[in-house]
Every structure is written in C-alpha cells, then in structure tokens.
Chains A and B, each alone.
Chain A
Amino acid sequence: MRLRIPLAIIFVMGIFTIVSHFIPAQPVADLNQTFRNWYIGIISFFIFLGTVNLARSNSEKIKTRARDWKYSIILIISLAVMLVAGFYKGRTSMEEGNPFMYLYFNVQYPLESTMYSLLAFFITSAAFRAFRARNREAVLLLVAAVLVMLGRVPIGAAMWDGFPDVTEWIMSFPNAAAKRGIRLGIDLGLISMALRMILGIERSYMQ
C-alpha cells in the first residue's frame, strides 16, 4: 500500500499530462493549470523547509565549532539581513531606498557576475586540453574550432572574408546535424524513461 498509492498517482497524472497535450478543451486546460498551481504551492512550502534546513545546519556548525564554522556566521547574518530587508519593503519594488533591491544590485549581483566571469578562464584551460591534436578526431575538432573562432572574430574576417561563411556552414550543417541526432536520442530516451515511471517499472527513486 505504501508503494501502490504513489504509483497510482504517478500513473494517473502521467497519463493525464500526455492526453492533455492533445486536448485543447478548456476544462482539461483548467484542470492542468490547477495541477500546476498545486505544484507551485508545494514548491513554496519546500522553499521554506529548505531555508529552515540551511539555518539549522549552519547553526549546528557554529555551535559545534565544526571546520570552517566562521563562514556559517557570515551565512546566517547574510540570511537574516536579506530576510529583514525583504520583509521591510518587499523585493519587487525598484524604488530608491528599497534595502532588498539595494543589497541585490550592489552585493549579490556583482558576486554572481564575478563567479560567471571565471568561465572565461575555465573555457581557455579546457580548450587547451580539448584541442590537443592527439588523434585524427582531435585534429578534426581542432581544425573546426580554429575555423569557427576565426569566423566569429573581426580579425578573422580581416584576414580572409570567407571565414564567416565557413563558420556559418560548419554551424548550420555538420554541427546542427550532430546536435539534432543527439536531440532525437534524448527525446526518445525521455519518452522511454517516462513510460517506465508511469508504468511503475522504474521506481528506484521511491523504493
């Protein structure tokens, strides 16, 4: 019984979701929307639980003086400050003097941009390893990558005005064909997994 009820719910909801895709009638669309609203409600509840979990585990670290416990103090203080700021004037108002938005644009946003900017360096180091001509396939990858790079930067077009066209051809034909092949496999794999779950065959996540 402990397994049967969740499996029955998965079966009914799975079949309904598939069928509703083909039925545009309003009652079905409304029911679909109702289920989505339920999901949003559940998510909101879990966000609260997640925040409690975060506060609890970090408080525990501070209490037990676990390794790097000082970082937990910063986290708890930041969490409390953002919470108070959010409750004070909300998070949607962009008016000047809104403390939450001020903190968002002047602290969180720059920090996130910094993390994102690391990508430039990581792409360089990964490309350095990827483009080593170890075998025939790697040479092919290297040549294609160099051509695409030259077609995407002004200096490439300055060297030879055919580079942008070569780049366009590589991206539109071999690259698009490979991506579509992978996409086709992904979609079939997704249908297969969804069927296994709807039929209750794959349930390792809920045993």
Chain B
Amino acid sequence: MHKAQSASALLIGLGMLIALGFLPAAGAGVNEAVPAAGPDSAGVPGVLPPTITAIEDTPNDGGTSIDITWEASPSEAIAPGSVIEYSIMRSDAEAGEFENFGTVPAGSTTYSDGGLQHDRPYWYKVTAVGLDSEAASEVSGPGYGRMQWFDDGLESVLALTVLICALIIGSIIYARHKSGLMYLRRLPVFDAIDEAIGRATEMGKKVLFIMGQLDVDDPQTVASMNILARVADRTATYGATLDIPCVWPMAMSMARETVKESYLRAGKPDEYDEDDIYYMTTDQFGYVAGVDGIMMRDRPAANFYLGAFYAESLIFAETGYTIGAIQIAGTAEVDQLPFFVVACDYTLIGEELYAAGASLSGDPVQVGSIRGQDIAKAVFVVMILVGVILRLIGIDIFTEWLAIG
C-alpha cells in the first residue's frame, strides 16, 4: 500500500512537471524542433516555413558560390515581426545532416553561399527563426557551383579596354613611322623642373623629392619614379644634392637604382650617394613629422611631391611654402589636388602625372601613346554625349550595356 501510494504520488508529480513544461512530454525528443507551424496551444501563432524557389549557380564566379532564393515565410505578412531571421542550412547529401552556414535578417529572400567546391552537389533548407519557434522549408537541391571562364558582366569593360588599347598601340605604331608630325603641348611644369633644380644648385641647397605614401605596386609611385629619373639626370648634370626620404623600403631600393643609373648616364657615378635615398617610416604622420623636420632644418630650395598623397599633402605643401621653396607637385588623388594647386607653384593634375615621364623623355614613341590616350578621351566624350541624348529620348540600351554587372 505504501509502495502504491508512493508510485501514485510520483506519477502525479511527473504529470504536473510535464503540464508546467519543466519536462518533455512522452515522444518529444529534447533536441526536436519547436512546432513548425500553426498556432500553438497557448494561442500564440508559430512561425510558418519559407519556400525555396531557386537554387542556382552564382553567375560570373569561379564556381565557389550558389545563390539560394526563397519566398518569405507567410508569417512575415500575417504577423510582422514574428520572424527574426532566416538560417541557411546546407548539406552535401539530400538525407545528410544540415548545418547552418549563414544567417540573413527577416525580409531577405536571397543568399549567396560561398566557399564551396565547384561541380559538387549541395542541398539546402531555409529556416525561418521566430522569437520562440522556428520552421524549416523542404529540402531543395542539388545545386552546383559552375566555374565560368569569362565574366559576361564585364563585356562592355572588355570592349572598351580593347578599344583604348587599340587606339594607344595604333598611335604608338603611327608615331614610330611619322614621328615628325606629332605635336604635344609642352606643360610649363616641365620647364619648371629645370628651373627649380638650377635654383637649388645656385643656392647650394638640396632638392627634396617625395614619392608619396604608397609602395611600388601603386601606379602613381611608378609614375613618380619615371619623373625621378629625369630629375636625377638634372641634379647629376648640375651637381645639386638630392634628398629622398622614403615611406616604403621597396620604393627606396627602386629609387636608388633609378638615381644611380641617372648619375651613370651623366658620367658622374662618383657623385652618387646612396645615403641620400633612405627609408624613414611607413607610418603616415611619422613620415610627415620627419619630412617637415627636414624642410625646417635643411630648407631645401626645390620640393617635388609626386605620387599618391592623402592628408599629408597640405602639411607638406604649406611647410614648403613657408620656407620659400619652389614646389612642384603631382598626384592622381583627386581630393588632394586642390591643396597642391593652392600651395604649390606647379601641379601635375591627374593624367599629367602619368604622362610626364613619357613627355619628358622626348621619345616620339612614348609621346605617341599620349596622343592615343587623347584620342580615347575624345571617343569617351562622344560616348557620353550619345549616352545623354539616347537617355533623353528614352533609349536605355546603350547605358544598360555600359553598366557593370
């Protein structure tokens, strides 16, 4: 009797715990998903599952990504706010274990699943996650990531690249045969280079050359190096001292070779001093402090700022202005150009920086490439006008073709 009473009390206690929700009911696994759909027993609507509509290869990639598209859970419309996010579950077998590989907020209906292996099948489920319930879609798949060998979103870019290259190479070939006919407007800054170095020589002061903040992988630094070759030719000829503090050691090494070659060409290898070209720091404002210190102590007569510049551009140019140096600047950083224009004597604006090396060389073949670039510019102006006119009369095909992606 005593045993029967104890067993009854235990059963009643368990029943109460189950009713209060502290223990799972019979048949409900601990890890089983919360009710998938429909109102629950307390009358709170559960989350309804989304429906996967497409599993497609992501276009124009290396085959490592698949796009999943789904219809949002109807719960989003029935009870706004009931869905918090969607979890993207992936498996490499239809009946395999699905793992969460990504989450997007409610309202999203697409996801690009990356980091996959190409030509391998993948299956997906999308789970709508609510505050206290979640519901998974049916399993969809298989989807495959396919490798593409041409990015057709860049069709117009390729066509224009080929056109520009053809114009420039055509002009180079033309210049090779008809060099006498080529005319190129000479920029005043080219004469100013000689003038500035000559002045520094007469005053017995240094020529300071700054190559910008970026390393040799930036085209502006390479353009700067091309001009440095000409500047070093002049300093070697006139006997002026070059001072080149560098931000990047690789740029320093390249500048040393460039200057050394210039001194060899000028027949004055003994006047080349590699200590004039030295590494300072890769830290932006540490470099600014160092260069400003050089300017204030050594008071160079000519300052060249050629390359990629950022916030330091005006600090350099204004410090140079206060010491009365002739200042020649050039950058392709559009936002820094106004500072140089205001504070320097001469400024190479954007494309002039890239053209200066070729123009200073006087080589008709190099000058020919600049002419090709100008023809390309004229073609672009015509294209802009045509595009504007077509848009105004309601024809979008041209601008749509030009749009990337």
Contacts and interface: CB of A to CB of B under 8 A. Distances in A.
Interface stretch (A92-100, A162-170, A180-188): A180-188
B219 A46 contact: no
Nearest to A184: B380
A199 B172 CA distance: 11
B161 A18 contact: yes
Contacts of A46: 248-250, 253
Given A24-B151, A46-B248, A201-B172, A112 B285 contact: yes
> Which of the four size classes fits the interface of chain A?
35 or more
A196 interface: yes
Contacts of B208: none
A195 interface: yes
Contacts of B266: none
A1 interface: no
Contact of B350 (A54, A186, A195): A186
Interface in A152-205: 179, 182-186, 188-197, 199, 201-202, 204-205
Interface string B222-249: 1101101110000000000000001011
B311 interface: yes
Interface stretch (B26-34, B56-64, B121-129, B131-139): B56-64
> Which of the four size classes fits the interface of chain B?
35 or more
Interface in B324-370: 332, 334, 337-339, 342-343, 349-355, 357-358, 361, 363, 365-366, 369-370
Interface of A: 18, 21-26, 28-29, 39, 42-43, 46-47, 49-51, 53-54, 57, 60, 67-68, 108, 111-112, 115-116, 118-119, 122-123, 125-127, 129-130, 179, 182-186, 188-197, 199, 201-202, 204-207
Interface of B: 60-64, 118, 147-151, 154, 157-158, 161, 164-165, 168-169, 172, 215, 217, 219, 222-223, 225-226, 228-230, 246, 248-250, 252-254, 257-258, 261, 265, 275, 278-286, 288-289, 297, 311, 314-315, 317-319, 332, 334, 337-339, 342-343, 349-355, 357-358, 361, 363, 365-366, 369-370, 372-373, 376-377, 380
Given A46-B249, A122-B318, A192-B369, 13 more contacts: A18-B161, A24-B147, A43-B215, A50-B249, A51-B249, A54-B279, A115-B285, A115-B286, A189-B354, A189-B355, A193-B226, A195-B369, A201-B172
30 contacts: A21-B154, A25-B63, A28-B62, A50-B249, A50-B279, A53-B249, A111-B289, A115-B285, A115-B315, A123-B314, A182-B334, A184-B377, A185-B350, A185-B351, A185-B377, A186-B332, A186-B334, A186-B354, A188-B351, A188-B376, A191-B168, A193-B219, A196-B366, A201-B363, A201-B365, A202-B361, A204-B225, A204-B226, A206-B257, A207-B265
